[in-house]
Amino acid sequence: MKKSFLKISSLLFLFIVLISCDKDFNSLDSDVIGDDHFDLVKYDVQNLIAYSKATGPVQTNNLPLNALGIYNNPKFGLTKAHFVTQVELGTENPSFGYNPVIDSVYLYVPYFVDPDFTTETSGERIYELDSIYGNPETGKFKLNVIESKYYLRDFDPSDDLQSAQNYYSDEKSIFDVPAHRGEILNTSSNIAQNNEFYFSKKELYIYKTNGAGLYIDANGAVLSNQNDASLRVIKERKTPGMWLDLKNSFFQQKILDAASSGNLFNNNVFKNYFRGLLFEVEEISPNQGAMAILDFSRAEFKIIYKSSIEPTTENPNPARTRKEFSLKMGYNALTSLRSNCVNFLEQSYAPEYLAGLNDADPVLGNEKLYIKGGDGSIAFIDLFGNGELERLRQEVAEGNKMINDARLTFYIDKDYMSTVADEPLRIFVFDATNNKVVIDYTFDPSTSSNPKNSKVVYGGMIQEETIGGNKKTIKYTIRLTEHIKRIIKADANGVYLDNVKLGVSVTESINLVSSVALKNSILAGTTQVANIPMSSVLNPLGTALHGPLSTETYENNEGEIIPMKLQMIIYFTEPNNE
């Protein structure tokens, strides 16, 4: 799946960029293109300064996606991702009937999967998992689902409840306090749901049962052998996901038996009464595990129970019927679902990565840049300097140059990344001074059914090249033509766009342009940075890139020696004086 994504996205990116470049040439002046007196000139910006900074703890409450699991990156370190969420009633002030008794409680959170699947001769559908890092089948870890006894606030009491409450990635210790932890709820005898949890690729089945919960055949007859799954009739198929059978007795007491207590009157009351669930992960053995990016707002959380109507003299033994009651969790800004949730990230950084961050030089720049998601690191870039920008502005103002195209190219440090199995499929360049996207991002109308593949003209997708007969991921390219045009060429009012500091991060989805707060702002040169892209926090991966001071080169398939340092290339049209 990853290889096909790279092939398709690389070809599509190249095709659209070539078309876009052609559009730029033709939009300059009708008397320029096709005129033998003008040349297309490639200009390599000479005064790039780039370096990396650790973000420190980041805001991780109410994210659209959340990480869960353990991921070991040999070059960046070990990450443990825990998750806590409030729970909401599917129906407020519910009535469960007379003498309700729980049959089962289950939680199903679907994984992201490739929509295409293959079908085995047995009829089983085989899916490819997406947004799961490490080895999902063998990367086992311990998963505890625990009652939360800590109330996740909507508003910050330190600000007289005038601003929203932020929670940060390093605040897992809140739930290490015994008073904030209830009982463990995923106590199934199936160890794949707790002590040896893993992200299974298998599709899930719900089988037909009678009103008493017994499996039946296609004719409705109860199966004599209730343990033979091959005899059961499939009622519903579900794509691979996290399936957890939760503790009946807890939900009997907490939900069904509390119907008349007033604690289920509405969700505001309920969220203080039942404060939510904590998903806590533990290593089984050192450096083992896997991590998934999940949308908990898509969870199917159901209580299956039986109850009857109130007995009467005429009907002293009314029939008991099987019913379902739904609960909800997670936060979705596009719906009415507003269950506060927090992603906690425990990090053990690799020594080499830490040393590289500590060596950051905002004055001269660095040979190597480190960008990592979660509470990881961001790279910062200063363009131009030492009179270079002023000279280019003057040449453009005098009519000696016209800008056709501009792009940043980042080459991957393949030596550093040689032992890393998962590379970020995309990076994101943004305006770090003003905490917003660059204009090229806004101007790019390209879309895709897969949000990770949108904005292909703007770019940032990992690119492959054939080197020595083998295809290798080699670089990322970001198109900044409109951004550079506005820095170098004044508008109709004689105003230039500020030469802002650029930020570089990994991204989980290019369509997510919201930002999150840093717990402690960082100083990037002379710029105080208080926010970073949310999409960076959602992606646990990292990469090392060659910086502007790198002297490394490689030989491409045409035998050319290519410098791997960070490059800002501008293509100008200028007169050739002939």
**DSSP one-letter string for 95-115:** ---EEEEEEEEEEEEEPEE-S
Picking from 216, 238, 260, the residue at the C-terminal end of a domain is 238
Q: Are residues 228 and 107 in the same domain?
A: no
pLDDT at 577: 67
Share of the chain above pLDDT 70, in %: 93
- Higher-confidence residue of 58 and 236: namely 58
Note the pLDDT tens digit of each residue in 249-276.
999 999 999 999 999 999 999 999 999 9
3-class secondary structure, 421 = coil
Distance CA 156, CA 160 (A): 7
- For residues 73-81, average pLDDT: 97
Q: Above 80 in pLDDT, residue 575? A: no
Note the pLDDT tens digit of each residue in 288-304.
999 999 999 999 999 99
pLDDT at 172: 98
Cβ atoms of 458 and 476 closer than 8 Å: no
* 3-state percent helix, strand, coil for the chain, nearest multiple of 5: 15, 40, 45
pLDDT at 10: 41
CB atoms within 10 A of CB 309: 12
pLDDT at 7: 38
Q: Are residues 168 and 297 in the same domain?
A: yes
Q: Are residues 444 and 430 in the same domain?
A: yes
Q: Are residues 109 and 24 in the same domain?
A: no
Q: Above 60 in pLDDT, residue 233? A: yes
Residue listed under structure tokens 């008794």: 101
Cβ atoms of 307 and 323 closer than 8 Å: yes
- Higher-confidence residue of 213 and 242: namely 242
Least confident of 27-41, 109-123, 372-386, 493-507: 27-41
User: What backbone phi and psi angles, to 5 degrees, belong to 395?
Assistant: -65, -40
Q: In this structure, is residue 68 part of a structural domain?
A: no
Nearest 5°: the CA angle 277, 517, 278 is 10
- The DSSP element (H or E) to which 249 belongs, if any, is helix 248-254
pLDDT at 287: 83
Q: Above 90 in pLDDT, residue 2? A: no
Q: Are residues 228 and 96 in the same domain?
A: no
Cβ atoms of 493 and 411 closer than 8 Å: no
Note the pLDDT tens digit of each residue in 404-461.
999 999 999 999 999 999 999 999 999 999 999 999 999 999 998 877 889 999 999 9
Least confident of 342-346, 446-450, 497-501: 446-450
Q: Are residues 333 and 369 in the same domain?
A: no
Distance CA 570, CA 485 (A): 10
Q: Above 90 in pLDDT, residue 71? A: yes
> Which range of residues forms the domain containing residue 224?
204-238
Distance CA 193, CA 156 (A): 36
Q: Above 50 in pLDDT, residue 3? A: no
Cβ atoms of 547 and 365 closer than 8 Å: yes
pLDDT at 26: 35
Picking from 314, 331, 346, the residue at the C-terminal end of a domain is 346
Q: In this structure, is residue 146 part of a structural domain?
A: yes
Q: Are residues 383 and 438 in the same domain?
A: yes
Q: Are residues 98 and 190 in the same domain?
A: yes
Q: In this structure, is residue 268 part of a structural domain?
A: yes
For 135-240, where are the E strands, in sequence order?
Answer: 141-148, 181-184, 204-207, 234-238
Cβ atoms of 439 and 478 closer than 8 Å: no
pLDDT at 54: 98
Q: Above 60 in pLDDT, residue 86? A: yes
Q: In this structure, is residue 63 part of a structural domain?
A: no
pLDDT at 36: 61
Q: Above 70 in pLDDT, residue 397? A: yes
Q: Are residues 170 and 313 in the same domain?
A: yes
- For residues 556-567, average pLDDT: 93
What residues contact residue 29 under an 8 Å CB cut-off, 6+ apart? 402
Q: In this structure, is residue 71 part of a structural domain?
A: no
- For residues 82-104, average pLDDT: 97
| Alpha-carbon distance values, 520 to 55, 66, 265, 360 (Å) | 8, 22, 40, 18
Cβ atoms of 68 and 529 closer than 8 Å: no
Q: In this structure, is residue 67 part of a structural domain?
A: no
Q: Are residues 420 and 558 in the same domain?
A: yes
Q: In this structure, is residue 64 part of a structural domain?
A: no
pLDDT at 49: 98
**DSSP of 481-533:** HHHHHHHHS--TTSPPPP-PPEEEEE-S-TT---EEEEEEEEEETTEEEEEEE
pLDDT at 209: 87
Q: How many domains does the chain have?
A: 3
Share of the chain above pLDDT 90, in %: 75
Q: Where are the alpha helices (DSSP H) in 350-417?
A: 351-358, 388-397
State the average pLDDT for the chain.
91
- For residues 206-234, average pLDDT: 88
Note the pLDDT tens digit of each residue in 6-60.
333 443 444 344 444 443 333 333 334 445 667 889 999 998 999 999 999 999 9
Q: Are residues 313 and 283 in the same domain?
A: yes
- Higher-confidence residue of 397 and 369: namely 369
Cβ atoms of 325 and 305 closer than 8 Å: yes
Note the pLDDT tens digit of each residue in 279-338.
999 999 998 999 999 999 999 999 999 999 999 889 989 999 999 999 999 998 888 888
Q: Are residues 103 and 211 in the same domain?
A: no
| Alpha-carbon distance values, 101 to 244, 265, 320, 489 (Å) | 20, 20, 10, 73
Picking from 319, 346, 373, the residue at the C-terminal end of a domain is 346
pLDDT at 9: 43
Q: In this structure, is residue 69 part of a structural domain?
A: no
Cβ atoms of 205 and 238 closer than 8 Å: yes
Measure the CA dihedral 33/35/38/43, to 10°. Answer: 30
Note the pLDDT tens digit of each residue in 525-548.
999 999 999 999 999 999 999 999
Cβ atoms of 61 and 340 closer than 8 Å: yes
